[in-house]
Structure 1
Amino acid sequence: MTPAAPAVHRERPRSDQVRFPPRYLLHPLRPVARGLVRRRYDVRVLGSDQVPASGPVIFAANHLGVADGPFLAMFAPRPVHALTKLEMFRGALGRFLLASGQVPLDRFNPDPYAVKVCLRVLRDGGAVGIFPEGARGGGDLGRFHRGAAYFALVTGAPVVPVTFLGTRAPGAHMGQLPPRGTAMAVCFGAPWHVGAVPWPRTREQVEHASLLLREHMLVHLDHARRSTGLELPGPLPATDVEPDPATGVTEQGAP
């Protein structure tokens, strides 16, 4: 991966004053982690050939449960620097996430640093991961935030839809892993493209692009269900309420 020319990083929002995330644990651990997971679960990976082999790319995934983030890091055909909620970056887990190149995100307050780090990755030809639903849930894209479309509008990077199926059992809580032997699928779809829009970008432009991206991801979700024979787990139990900011273009977040 060749770093971008300095002039690209000076475009607004600027990314020349942040560093590319560390990734010294991201490369060596991926093959080992995949092997360990496949000893416990029947994981199928479909559509990897649709992911651009080089250049910037945004992975936009649905969000069922706690396994989705690690699975994206393990099974994506390229190393991914995923936006991860700030609450995860505590203690040993937080140090591990930082060492493996994940990007902490404050979901409830403006977080220009996280935005600039992701732009740094994309402008240098890397891969960023994002869960447009925000909080974990049914995985049906009923709630959809603007981040993925925003990064696409800023950089012109293609957005690859990712559908997770089987990573949470029906009726299970958001933090529960499925039983041993569960069939799971990680499905990559055809990239979605939108032309880069120069500064300043309007809220209306980002919202319109977000709705178009959501439609593309819904088509891919339907295709993934039909091609794998797997279904979404349904809503979380009523006792599982994960706070989520009211910044969605569809449902405005959970209480």
Structure 2
Amino acid sequence: MTTGISDRARRELPRSDEVAHPVRWMLYRFRWFGRWGIRRRYDVRLHGTENVPATGPVIMASNHVGIMDGPLLAIYSPRPVHALTKSEMFEHGFLGRFLLLVGQIPLHRTFSDPSAVKIALHVLRQGRVMGIYPEGARGSGELHRWHHGAAYFALASGAPVVPVIMFGTREPGGGASSLPHKGGRIDIVYGEPFRVDAVPWPRRREQVEQVSKLLQEHMQVHLDRAKALTGRSLPGPLPEPIEENE
């Protein structure tokens, strides 16, 4: 049931009252089945789940190492996550329909995507959880590459940002779509929330950039702590593509 508070929030700029909430019921059911299936193949260990607020809007900001990061974020987080997912993933027939059915949000990465922004804000304004990868694409996971989207959503909604670090979703030397070996250990580490007060429209670019820098520093500290906690390291950069001779 929608509350009056969320109704008012959805009319704030940018307005999100004209977009539909991503599918929820299938995501809830998929989480239980997904955990069962993944645990049959991998040793998944969760750390710091107490850092995830039990109620209210939350932004999950995760590093991005391998193709498994998205499913793991949606399936294993203490609360269901509607994650911004590159639009190309929705162009593959069954996979695209499945992603929509489990409540993931298509995002065009090559240009500004106001529809994705409004849907993500709608999720937050309804008091639920959205996910985002500040690095923008799979890579080393060391947080060197950084985009401002997570900071923008924090300023627009006032939702806390929970940093998430994943280890073991890609092995050293593995490509962007490679999977870890069967029986491999995967660690998911949730950190202390980063909080910032909501700023009403219009938000200046300088404000977003300043908060984004602070968030990056917060996540970098969490990454160092996660490495110390788990004794794990990240797999390094993706291998360079092999160029064929003409």
RMSD of the TM alignment (CA)?
A: 1.3
Where in structure 2 are the equivalents of 1:230-241 lying within 5 Å? 230-239=232-241
Q: Are 1:37 and 2:23 an aligned pair?
A: no
Report the equivalent of 1:253: none
Judged with a 3 Å threshold, the aligned counterparts in structure 2 of structure 1 residues 63 and 199 are, in CA distance, closer, same or farther, namely same
Report the equivalent of 1:72: 73
* Unpaired stretches in structure 2, ≥5 consecutive residues: none
Q: Residue 210 of structure 1 aligns to which amino acid in structure 2?
A: S
State the shift of 1:126 in Å: 0.5
Q: Are 1:14 and 2:6 an aligned pair?
A: no
CA distance in structure 2 between the aligned counterparts of 1:2 and 1:84, rounded to whole angstroms: 26
Where in structure 2 are the equivalents of 1:198-237 lying within 5 Å? 198-237=200-239
Residue 195 of structure 1 aligns to a residue whose secondary structure is coil
Report the equivalent of 1:58: 59
Pairs aligned (count):
241
Q: TM-score, normalised by structure 2?
A: 0.95
State the shift of 1:138 in Å: 0.2
State the shift of 1:31 in Å: 1.3
Determine if contact 1:33/1:74 at 8 Å carries over to the other structure: yes
2:187 aligned residue (185, 193, 198): 185
Residues 204-243 of structure 1: per-residue CA shift (max 9 Å, x gap): 1111111100000011111111111111000110118xxx
State the shift of 1:6 in Å: 2.0
Residue 162 of structure 1 aligns to a residue whose secondary structure is strand
Determine if contact 1:132/1:146 at 8 Å carries over to the other structure: yes
State the shift of 1:38 in Å: 1.1
Report the equivalent of 1:96: 98
Report the equivalent of 1:170: 172
CA distance in structure 2 between the aligned counterparts of 1:46 and 1:75, rounded to whole angstroms: 11
Q: Are 1:124 and 2:120 an aligned pair?
A: no
Determine if contact 1:2/1:125 at 8 Å carries over to the other structure: no
Report the equivalent of 1:133: 135
State the shift of 1:5 in Å: 3.5
Report the equivalent of 2:28: 27
State the shift of 1:82 in Å: 0.1
Residues 32-52 of structure 1: per-residue CA shift (max 9 Å, x gap): 111111111111011111100
1:111 aligned residue (110, 113, 120): 113
Residue 164 of structure 1 aligns to a residue whose secondary structure is strand
Determine if contact 1:22/1:99 at 8 Å carries over to the other structure: yes
Percent identity (aligned) = 58
State the shift of 1:21 in Å: 0.8
Residue 93 of structure 1 aligns to a residue whose secondary structure is helix
Judged with a 3 Å threshold, the aligned counterparts in structure 2 of structure 1 residues 13 and 179 are, in CA distance, closer, same or farther, namely same
Report the equivalent of 2:47: 46
Determine if contact 1:60/1:159 at 8 Å carries over to the other structure: yes
Residue 236 of structure 1 aligns to a residue whose secondary structure is coil
State the shift of 1:24 in Å: 2.5
Residue 40 of structure 2 aligns to a residue whose secondary structure is helix
State the shift of 1:2 in Å: 4.7
Q: Residue 135 of structure 1 aligns to which amino acid in structure 2?
A: A
Q: Are 1:151 and 2:153 an aligned pair?
A: yes
CA distance in structure 1 between the aligned counterparts of 2:166 and 2:103, rounded to whole angstroms: 21
CA distance in structure 2 between the aligned counterparts of 1:6 and 1:190, rounded to whole angstroms: 29
